[in-house]
Amino acid sequence: MIQNKMETVLVSGGAGFIGSHTCEKLIQLGYRVLCIDNLNDYYDPRFKQQNLAKLKKSKSFSFYKADICNRSEMGKLFSKNRIDRIIHLAARAGVRPSIEDPGLYAKVNISGTINLLEEARKNSIKYFVFGSSSSVYGNCREVPFSEDMQLDRPISPYAATKKAGELICYAYHHLYNINISCLRFFTVYGPRGRPDMAPYKFLSRIAEGIPIDMYGDGSTSRDYTYVADIVDGIIASMERLDGYQIFNLGNSNPITLSEFIAVIESVTGKQAVIKREKMQPGDVDTTYSDITKAARMLGYRPKVQFREGISMMYDWLKNHDKR
C-alpha cells in the first residue's frame, strides 16, 4: 500500500463518467490529481464541464485540456509536471460508433495509449492502470468470464482496440519493467452516467414517457456495476500494482434486458413504451464477470445491488435535469 498520499496521479479522461468519480475519490484519499481530457463532443460536453466544476473546487486538483493523440502536447505536459502514477481512462467508447469509424477508435484507443506509455517510459513512471472493457470477451459461451480465457475473436472494432491496448501494455511491462494493471470494466452505471448508455437513456425516457428501443427479445444480459464499486477497484489496483495483471471489475450478477426495464419501471413508477428492434451488429449476448481474482488480490467486493444503484442514479438524474 502507498504510504505517501501526496503523490500526483494523472487521470486521463478524468472529466468523464468513471474518470470524474475516480478523481473525486483520489482527492478524498489525499492524492494530488492531474486530470487531462480533450472534452470532445462524443456526447454533450456540458456533462464533462459539470463534472469539472465540482472537481475544480479542490486545491489538490489540476485540469489540462489536452489530447492523448497529440504526442508533442503529451511530452510538454509530462515535462512540466511531476507525475508518480497514471490511471488511463481516456478512450473512444461505444461498440456501434466504432463500426462506423474504426480508424478513429484505433487512433485514440491504441495510438493514444502508446503515447502515454511512452511518457511513462521516458519519465520513469513505474505504475500504470489501463481502463479496458468487458467487450474483449466477445460472445464467449463459457460463463462467467475469467481473465485467463484466450481472447482472439472480438466482434467490434472497439473490443479489438481494447484488447490491443492490453497487449501493448504487456509489451511495455516486459520491455521497461512498468507495473501495469488492465481493468476490464463491466457495464458501469450510476450518477453522472454517460447519456449514450442504456441506464441513462432508459431512466430518463421511461420517466418522461418517451419510447425506448429494445434490441432483441429481452433475453440479452449485462453485468451492471455501480460506479463507486468500480472506483474502489481502480484505486485498489493502483495502490497494489505489482508486475502485469488483468482484473475483471464487475458485479458478477447479470441482469436481463427485460429485468432491467422492469426495475426502471418500478423505480420511476412509470410503464415503459417499448419499440422492439433487431439485435445490432457488434452487440454481445451476455456479460458476466468472474471477480475471484480481483477479490483475492485487490480485496474487491462490490457493495451496491442493481435496484439500489438504479434508485440512486434516478435520484441524481432528477436533480441533474433541474439544473
295 in Cβ contact with 261 (< 8 Å): no
Please name every residue paired with 11 in a beta bridge, in sequence order, or none if there are none.
35, 87
Q: Which residues are catalytic?
A: 158
210 in Cβ contact with 264 (< 8 Å): no
CA distance to 127, 136, 270, 311, per residue, from 231 (Å): 17, 20, 31, 19
Sorted by sequence, the CB contacts under 8 Å of residue 293 that are 6+ apart come out as 146, 147, 247, 248
Three-state DSSP state, 46: helix
What backbone torsions phi and psi does residue 277 show, to the nearest 5 degrees? -130, 160
Selection from 68, 78, 83, 75 nearest residue 33 by Cα: 83
Please name every residue paired with 286 in a beta bridge, in sequence order, or none if there are none.
221
Three-state DSSP state, 318: helix
> Computed from CA positions of residues 136, 131, 110, 66, in that sequence, does the dihedral angle turn out positive or negative?
positive
Q: In what order do the strands lie in the sheet with 61-65?
A: 61-65, 32-37, 8-12, 85-88, 127-133, 179-185, 244-249
